[in-house]
Amino acid sequence: MREDAFGGGLVDLLVLAAVEGRGESYGYAIAQDLAEAGVTGLGEAAVYACLRRLHKRELLTSRQVVADNGKARRYYALTPAGRAHRDREQATWEATRDAVMKVLATGGGA
C-alpha cells in the first residue's frame, strides 16, 4: 500500500488492532505484525509515532520491561477508551470501504 494511503484514523486502527491481537505488544513486534499482514508503506517510525500519540490520549497504557542484559521493551495495551476508539475507527473504515466499493462497482450516484 502507498504511504499516502494511510490517514491518521487508519493508522490508529491498524496499530490498535495489532496491539489488541496480542493482548499486549511492543512497537517493533507491532511493526512486524503489520508488515507480515501485508501493510507495506507504513514505516516503523510511523508506528512508534502512533503509539506515542495514542498513549498521550490515554488510549493505550504502557510498561517497560528490562531484561537482565539491559535490553528493554515497552509493552502497550488498550484501555477501555482505546477499545472504544478502535471500534469507532473500524466502523468508519468499513463505511469508507463500502462506499469505495460501491463507486468502483457502479460509478457512484444513486
Task: Report angle CA 72, 75, 77 to the nearest 5 degrees.
Answer: 175
Residue type (1 letter), 18: A
Of positions 55, 79, 90, 93, contacts another protein by CB under 8 A: 55
The one segment of 12-20, 26-34, 79-87, 89-97 that binds another protein by CB under 8 A: 26-34
Contact with another protein (CB under 8 A) among 9, 20, 62, 92: 62
70 and 89 in contact (C-beta within 8 Å)? no
Q: Which residues pair with 88 in a beta bridge?
A: none
Q: Is 81 within 8 Å of 56 (Cβ atoms)? A: no
Candidates 74, 79, 92, 93; binder of another protein (CB under 8 A) is 74
Write out the residues near another protein by the rule CB under 8 A: 22-29, 32-33, 36, 43-46, 48-49, 51-52, 55, 61-75
